[in-house]
């Protein structure tokens, strides 16, 4: 019974974990694909130069490790409840930054993908963050 | 685990957490200063900075998260010691790409061999201490 107690939260955390681990691995091992990832997931026109080829590495490593933190939390949400809250804060910052990016980023750096798609992604990230927060609050 | 290594691990974890919060905050909020700071710390001399600044922001978010979780581990290490394994993995990945892409690092970012090896040794020390400490608590 106890293991089924936080099933929805665990499923959500596993999705977040697999997504970040996958994104991190692609950033480390498939850098050519990173341009597509940056465009679709961060709305950022990345030009793959020798310099950016190097700079993607730390970002990808930290994305991957965040996925591992979420996997640990998915294994035991009670023990790692505070880690989940840290993840929620990250999601909130990402939503805010995405909005700020639209407003302040130089035109050439913003990718030209559909603005409706951007808004949908923003809403999805916000919903995941809120769902994590609400479900984590119920964890005892 | 000998007491001296235990203390060394805790000091390393404290500095590791501080490093991530400080660099994360300056990367997110003060990207121009962050570039100057990384030049000083790592010896990086980037040619192009606009894309770099845009990459620093998402990186900074994840760095802050890593630092905050580091302090959580430090506060209650008996409860959260398993997190030391992902920390060691993070340091290992950083060592790996510093070795794998070292010629690019020297050529494109003008980092010297001494600066690169200094960072590799610091990161290797952390990875070893974290794994050792975590295994001692298993």
SS3 of chain A: CHHHCCHHHHHHHHHHHHHHHHHHHHHHHCHHHHHHHHHHHCCECCCCCHHHHHHHHHHHHHHHHHHHHHHHHHHCCCCCHHHHHHHHHHHHHHHHHHHHHHHHCCHHHECCCCHHHHHHHHHHHHHHHHHHHHHHHHCC
Predicted TM-score of the model (pTM)? 0.90
- Would the pLDDT of A98 be above 70? yes
- Residue ranges of chain B whose CB lies within 8 Å of a chain A CB: 28, 46-48, 50-52, 54-55, 57-59, 61-63, 65-66, 68-69, 72, 79-80, 82-83, 86-87, 89-90, 93-94, 97, 101, 104-105, 107-109
> How far apart, in whole angstroms, are the C-alpha atoms of residue B119 and residue B124?
8
- Would the pLDDT of A102 be above 80? no
Residues A64/A28, Cβ–Cβ less than 8 Å: yes
Return the pLDDT at A1: 44
A123 CA to chain B: closest CA distance, Å? 18
The single residue listed with the structure tokens 């070292």 is B102
Q: What mean pLDDT, rounded, does chain A reach?
A: 84
Return the pLDDT at A126: 92
Buried b or exposed e, range B13-46, using 16+ CB within 10 angstroms: beebbeebbebbebbbeebeebbebbeeebbbeb
Of A57, A83, A97, the CB nearest to B97: A57
Subunit contact B83:A93, Cβ cutoff 8 A: no
Of B54, B107, B108, the CB nearest to A105: B54
- Structure confidence by residue, pLDDT tens digits, A108-140: 666 655 677 778 888 988 999 999 999 999 988
Return the pLDDT at A2: 47
- When scoring A48, A54, A94 by the number of chain B Cβ atoms within 10 A, the one with the most, hence best to mutate, is A54
Subunit contact A69:B63, Cβ cutoff 8 A: no
Residues B20/B64, Cβ–Cβ less than 8 Å: yes
Residues A139/A73, Cβ–Cβ less than 8 Å: no
Q: With contacts defined as CB-CB under 8 Å, which chain A residues touch B48?
A: 49, 51
Q: What is the pLDDT along chain B (138 residues), one digit of tens a residue?
A: 788 999 999 999 999 999 999 999 999 889 888 888 888 888 888 777 777 777 788 889 999 999 999 999 999 999 999 999 999 999 999 999 999 989 888 888 888 999 999 999 999 999 999 999 999 988
Q: Provide the 8-state DSSP code for B82.
A: G
What number is the ipTM of this complex? 0.92
Q: With contacts defined as CB-CB under 8 Å, which chain B residues touch A79?
A: 79
- When mean pLDDT is compared across A40-54, A59-73, B49-63, the lowest value belongs to A40-54
Return the pLDDT at A110: 64
């Amino acid at each position: 019974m106890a293991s089924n107690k936080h099933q929805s939260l665990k499923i959500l955390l596993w999705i977040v974990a697999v997504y970040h681990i996958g994104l991190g691995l692609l950033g480390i091992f498939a850098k050519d694909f990173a341009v597509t990832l940056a465009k679709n997931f961060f709305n950022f026109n990345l030009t793959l130069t020798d310099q950016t080829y190097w700079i993607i590495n730390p970002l990808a490593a930290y994305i991957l490790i965040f996925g591992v933190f979420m996997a640990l939390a998915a294994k035991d949400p009670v023990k790692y409840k505070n880690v989940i809250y840290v993840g929620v804060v990250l999601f909130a910052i990402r939503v805010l930054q995405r909005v700020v990016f639209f407003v302040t980023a130089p035109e050439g750096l913003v990718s030209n993908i559909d603005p409706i798609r951007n808004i949908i992604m923003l809403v999805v990230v916000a919903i995941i963050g809120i769902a994590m927060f609400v479900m984590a609050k119920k964890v005892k | 685990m000998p007491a001296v290594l235990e203390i060394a691990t805790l000091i390393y974890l404290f500095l590791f957490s501080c490093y991530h919060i400080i660099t994360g905050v300056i990367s997110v909020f003060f990207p121009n200063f962050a570039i100057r700071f990384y030049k000083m710390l790592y010896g990086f001399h980037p040619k192009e900075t606009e894309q770099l600044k845009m990459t620093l922001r998402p990186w900074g978010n994840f760095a802050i998260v890593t630092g905050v979780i580091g302090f959580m581990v430090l506060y209650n290490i008996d409860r959260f010691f398993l997190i030391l394994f992902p920390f060691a993995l993070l340091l290992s990945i950083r060592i790996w790409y510093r070795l794998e892409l070292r010629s690019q690092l020297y050529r494109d970012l003008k980092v010297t061999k001494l600066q690169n090896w200094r960072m590799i040794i610091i990161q290797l020390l952390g990875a070893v201490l974290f794994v050792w400490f975590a295994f001692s608590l298993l």
